[in-house]
Chain A
Amino acid sequence: MMPDFDQSGLPQTKEWVPEAKAPVILLENVSKTYGRIHALTGITLALSGGVTGILGMNGAGKSTLFKILMGKIKPSSGQVRLFGTDPWKNPAPYARVGFVPEHEKMYDWMTAHDFISTFARLNGLTRDEAKIEADRVLDFVGLLDVAHKQIGRFSKGMRQRTKIAHALVNDPELIILDEPLQGCDPLARTTIMNVIRELGRMGRTVIVSSHILHEIERITEQIVILHYGRLLALGNLHAIREKLDNIPHRIDIGTNNPKQLAKSIIEIDSVHGIFFPKGDNLSIQTHNLGSFHSQLPKAIIESGQRVESIDNPDDDLESILGYLTGGGRM
Chain B
Amino acid sequence: MATKPDTIFRALDRKAAAVTEFTMRQYRTKLSTWVVLITGFLIISLLLLFYVDGMQKEYESIDNDGDSYDWDGDGYPTGQERLYGTDPRSEDSHPGLLDPPVEPDPPEKWIDEDDFDWESTPGAGQTISVGHDDDGDCDREDRTESQKDSNDNGIPCDIVLEGPRVGMEESGFTVDADSFVDEDPDDAAYAKEAIHRASILAIGKLGFVFIIGIFVPLFLATGLIRDEMSSGTMHYMLSKPIARTEVFLYRILGYLGIVWPYLAILVFISALVTGLAGPSDSFFRFSEFGIWLSVLFAAMLATLVYGMLFCFFGVLWRYGVILAIPFAAWELGMALLSMGMPDASILRFSVIGWSLTIIDSAAMLVWPDLDLFVQMGTWGGDGDGTGLFGSSIEGAVPLSYFSSKPGLGNIGPFLSMLIASLVLIVQAAGLWLIGGLLFKGKEIE
Given contacts A1-B316, A73-B443, A103-B232, contact A119 B1 (CB under 8 A): no
B58-73 contact mask (Cβ, 8 Å, vs A): 1 or 0: 0000000000000000
Whether A123 contacts B440 by the Cβ 8 Å rule is: no
B434's closest neighbor in chain A, by CB? Answer: A3
How many positions in chain B have a CB within 8 Å of any CB in the partner chain? 38
A2 surroundings in chain B (CB, below 8 A) = 441
A126 CA / B440 CA spacing, docked (Å): 26
A101 CA / B231 CA spacing, docked (Å): 12
B25 surroundings in chain A (CB, below 8 A) = 110
Segment with Cβ contacts to A, from B134-142, B183-191, B242-250, B370-378:
B242-250
For residues 8 through 41 of chain A, which have their beta carbon under 8 Å from a beta carbon of chain B?
Answer: 9-11, 16
Whether B244 contacts A9 by the Cβ 8 Å rule is: yes
Selected from A11, A72, A97, A129, the residue in CB contact (under 8 A) with B1 is: A129
Whether A125 contacts B14 by the Cβ 8 Å rule is: yes
Selected from A3, A67, A72, A105, the residue in CB contact (under 8 A) with B438 is: A3
Selected from B1, B18, B231, the residue in CB contact (under 8 A) with A103 is: B231
B246 surroundings in chain A (CB, below 8 A) = 11
Segment with Cβ contacts to A, from B203-211, B233-241, B358-366, B420-428:
B233-241
B348 located at the interface, meaning its Cβ lies under 8 Å from any Cβ of chain A in the complex? no
Given contacts A9-B245, A11-B246, A93-B241, contact A101 B440 (CB under 8 A): no
Whether B15 contacts A121 by the Cβ 8 Å rule is: yes
A97 surroundings in chain B (CB, below 8 A) = 239
B16's closest neighbor in chain A, by CB? Answer: A121
Whether B14 contacts A124 by the Cβ 8 Å rule is: yes
Selected from B2, B15, B29, B440, the residue in CB contact (under 8 A) with A9 is: B440
B324 located at the interface, meaning its Cβ lies under 8 Å from any Cβ of chain A in the complex? no
A2 CA / B245 CA spacing, docked (Å): 16
Whether B437 contacts A105 by the Cβ 8 Å rule is: no
A97 CA / B194 CA spacing, docked (Å): 65
A128 surroundings in chain B (CB, below 8 A) = 1
A213 surroundings in chain B (CB, below 8 A) = none
B1-16 contact mask (Cβ, 8 Å, vs A): 1 or 0: 1100000001001110
Whether A72 contacts B13 by the Cβ 8 Å rule is: no
A109-132 contact mask (Cβ, 8 Å, vs B): 1 or 0: 110000000110111111111101
20 pairs across A/B with beta carbons < 8 Å?
Answer: A3-B438, A4-B441, A9-B243, A10-B245, A16-B241, A67-B445, A72-B235, A72-B443, A73-B444, A91-B240, A92-B241, A95-B241, A98-B239, A99-B235, A103-B232, A122-B19, A122-B237, A124-B14, A124-B241, A125-B14
Query: Which 9 pairs of residues, A with B, have the shortest CB-CB distance?
Result: A103-B232, A121-B18, A4-B441, A122-B240, A99-B239, A3-B441, A101-B235, A3-B437, A73-B443
